[in-house]
């Protein structure tokens, strides 16, 4: 692509006010909310009532509608129609007596917030269901969806040298990585995806992103990185004739073998102290839970924290991805495709499929964290990246402390942690005491009176051992017995962010 054309496109988008706020002002809050639900008509009606460059860009590159030559020429005065055609974002079509220009890609504003502040990019991708495209083309390149937003929030907000976006797709994660990394290598098996990545980097003035074509770790053989991020094509798809294989979600492997390969390759490609953040799916096969299988993939060289956010039975899993590809129950092909999925799961003894997050780190010495858990509750994503990064540091710190050393430490309660007490009316004291997080992973933890008192006293002034002794005296119990009971639980509270180092 000609960089001058991309630069011209950026100037035109900016001049038209083609931003999230601009779109909201044009169509209104209700129509904007409908767009998020993949419902186009309210925004289309609003845009047609208020013609102009912004309305034309919305109709063409958000909704996928053909527009007249005159409308697009007015909306893209610097790039022009010929420039848009040459760039590959539009094509001419014959209308009923009126020449039309049809979009070939979607270009949509994407606002974000991270530890460095707020910003907004234009992200180009393939036209999708919002633009009336169904089923999707096999080499479809996704725009910014829920998975990309989640992965962006999982990234550690820490400056680093080299980073890798493994399976970059449209490149939005590469742009997020570049905000913290000096250099980003973005790989994908799809040349079309890499075209979008290059377009989006240039369109938003982001340098330092190097694109490489190839499968999984092949393009970076022998290289190590300080941070690796990946939303790999992890969807478990039957290897059967007639089942569509979408590049953005299907890596061509049987079952969850692609996820096993991605996780298994991390140790060879993370620099000492380097971190990885992944999204993925894993199967429970027979009596073996999926998280136990993930434990085997990770091995013992890495610190690992696997978080299963949801678990679906085979029928619901197949239905999810049939809908994602644009195949609905009323479609002729639906039942045959559903049978193919269910046949595959039955043949391999799959009982459920877990969906979640993986955080990994290559320790400087020996691994100190191996945590595998299910957390299905709602989590405020903006807190997760920083919490996970801190947790790995805390795990290493805790591993170097025996109980006597821990008792000498000073801890504090983060400002987002609150306490709730529940009791039966008329009872002398609470039946349940809960500690609740507003940040981190939003946990609610039940504690007993002694641990609640200890947490409540952690203001950084006194050492843990002193506090334990005082509480033991109040409760009239042996301080050694109390310390042996509460200190292991204090370790858990530190790791989960309910307590932290002063």
Name which of 171, 468, 235, 228 is nearest 362 in CA terms: 228
Domain ranges of the chain: 3-104, 136-382, 401-501
Q: So what's the architecture of 136-382 in CATH?
A: 3-Layer(aba) Sandwich (3.40)
- Give Cα separations from 128 to 32, 96, 124 (angstroms): 17, 25, 12
Q: Is 279 exposed, middle or buried (0-12, 13-18, 19+ CB in 10 A)?
A: buried
Sign of the CA dihedral with 52 first, then 53, 58, and 64 last: positive
- Given this model, what pLDDT does residue 137 score? 84
Per-residue confidence in pLDDT tens, the chain, 502 aa: 899 999 999 999 999 999 999 999 999 999 999 999 999 999 999 999 999 999 999 999 999 999 999 999 999 999 999 999 999 999 998 877 788 999 999 999 999 999 999 999 999 999 999 998 877 888 899 999 999 999 999 999 999 999 999 999 999 999 999 999 999 999 999 999 999 999 999 999 999 999 999 999 999 999 999 999 999 988 999 998 888 888 888 888 899 999 999 999 999 999 999 999 999 999 999 999 999 999 999 988 999 999 999 999 999 999 999 988 878 888 888 999 999 999 999 999 999 999 999 999 999 988 899 999 999 999 999 999 999 999 999 999 999 999 999 999 999 999 999 999 998 888 877 889 999 999 999 999 999 999 999 999 999 999 999 999 999 999 999 999 999 999 999 999 999 999 999 9
134, 326 contact by CB (below 8 A): yes
The alpha-carbon radius of gyration of the chain (Å, integer) is 26
DSSP state of 459: B
Q: What pLDDT, on a 0 to 100 scale, did the predictor assign at position 176?
A: 98
The DSSP line for 213-251 is ESSTTGGGTT--EEEEEE---B------TT----TTTB-
Contact status, residue 208 vs residue 183, Cβ threshold 8 Å: yes
Q: Give dist(CA 382, CA 149) in Å, integer.
A: 10
Residue 45, pLDDT score: 97
In whole angstroms, what is the distance from residue 478 CA to residue 8 CA? 75
What are the respective helix, strand and coil percentages of the chain, to the nearest 5?
Answer: 40, 25, 35
Using one digit for the tens of pLDDT, what is the confidence trace for 412-471? 999 999 999 998 888 877 889 999 999 999 999 999 999 999 999 999 999 999 999 999
DSSP letter for each residue of 21-65: HHHHHHH-HHHHHHHHTT--HHHHHHHHHS-SHHHHHIIIIIT--
* Sign of the Cα pseudo-torsion (391, 173, 225, 222, in order): positive
Angstrom distance (rounded) from CA 176 to CA 182: 12
User: Phi, psi (5° rounding) for residue 450?
Assistant: -65, -45
Contact 22, 58 (CB under 8 A): no
Alpha carbon dihedral 264, 149, 114, 161, in 10-degree steps, equals 30
- In whole angstroms, give the CA distance from residue 487 to residue 483: 6
pLDDT digit string, tens, across residues 160-215: 999 999 999 999 999 999 999 999 999 999 999 999 999 999 999 999 999 999 99
3-class secondary structure, 101: strand
Determine the longest span between alpha carbons in the chain, in angstroms.
Answer: 93
Residue pair 226/271 in contact by the 8 Å Cβ criterion: yes
- What φ, ψ does residue 121 adopt, rounded to 5°? -120, 160
pLDDT (tens digit per residue) in 145-154: 999 999 999 9
- Rounded CA-CA distance 441/438 in Å is 8
Contacts of 237 (CB under 8 A, 6+ apart): 243, 245, 249, 250, 321, 341
């Amino acid at each position: 692509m000609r960089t001058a054309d991309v630069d011209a496109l950026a100037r035109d988008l900016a001049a038209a006010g083609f931003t999230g706020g601009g779109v909201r002002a044009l169509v209104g809050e209700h129509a904007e909310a409908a767009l998020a639900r993949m419902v186009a008509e309210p925004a289309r009606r609003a845009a047609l009532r208020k013609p102009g460059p912004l309305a034309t860009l919305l109709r063409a590159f958000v909704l996928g509608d053909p527009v007249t030559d005159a409308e697009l020429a007015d909306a893209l005065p610097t790039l022009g129609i010929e420039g848009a055609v040459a760039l590959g974002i539009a094509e001419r079509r014959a209308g009923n007596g009126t020449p039309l220009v049809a979009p070939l890609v979607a270009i949509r504003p994407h606002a974000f917030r991270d530890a460095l502040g707020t910003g907004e990019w234009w992200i180009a991708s393939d036209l999708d269901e919002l633009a009336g495209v169904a089923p999707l083309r096999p080499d479809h390149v996704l725009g910014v969806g829920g998975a990309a937003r989640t992965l962006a929030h999982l990234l550690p907000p820490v400056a680093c040298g080299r980073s890798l976006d493994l399976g970059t797709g449209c490149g939005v994660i590469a742009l997020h990585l570049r905000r913290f990394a000096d250099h980003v290598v973005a790989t994908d098996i799809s040349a079309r995806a890499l075209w979008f990545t290059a377009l989006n980097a240039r369109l938003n003035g982001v340098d330092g992103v190097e694109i490489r074509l190839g499968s999984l770790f092949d393009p970076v053989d022998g290289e190590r990185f300080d941070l690796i991020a990946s939303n790999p094509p992890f969807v478990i798809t039957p290897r059967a004739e007639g089942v569509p294989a979408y590049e953005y979600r299907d890596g061509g492997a049987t079952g969850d073998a692609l996820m096993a390969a991605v996780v298994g390759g991390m140790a060879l490609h993370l620099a000492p102290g380097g971190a990885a953040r992944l999204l993925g799916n894993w199967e429970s096969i027979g009596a073996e839970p999926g998280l136990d299988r993930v434990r085997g993939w990770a091995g013992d060289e890495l610190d690992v924290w696997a978080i299963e956010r949801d678990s679906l039975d085979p029928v619901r899993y197949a239905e999810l991805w049939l809908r994602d590809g644009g195949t609905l129950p009323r479609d002729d092909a639906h039942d045959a495709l559903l049978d193919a999925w269910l046949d595959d799961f039955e043949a391999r003894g799959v009982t459920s499929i877990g969906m979640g997050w993986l955080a990994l780190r290559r320790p400087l010495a020996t691994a100190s964290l191996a945590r595998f858990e299910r957390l299905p509750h709602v989590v405020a994503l903006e807190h997760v990246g920083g919490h996970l990064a801190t947790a790995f540091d805390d795990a290493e710190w805790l591993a170097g402390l025996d109980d006597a050393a821990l008792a000498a430490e000073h801890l504090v309660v983060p400002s987002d942690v609150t306490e709730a007490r529940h009791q039966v009316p008329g009872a002398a004291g609470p039946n349940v005491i809960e500690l609740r997080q507003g940040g981190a992973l939003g946990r609610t933890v039940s504690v007993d009176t002694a641990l609640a008192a200890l947490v409540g006293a952690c203001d950084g002034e006194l050492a843990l051992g002193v506090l334990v002794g005082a509480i033991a005296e109040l409760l009239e119990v042996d301080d050694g017995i109390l310390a042996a009971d509460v200190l292991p639980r204090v370790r858990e509270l530190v790791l989960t962010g309910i307590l932290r180092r002063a």
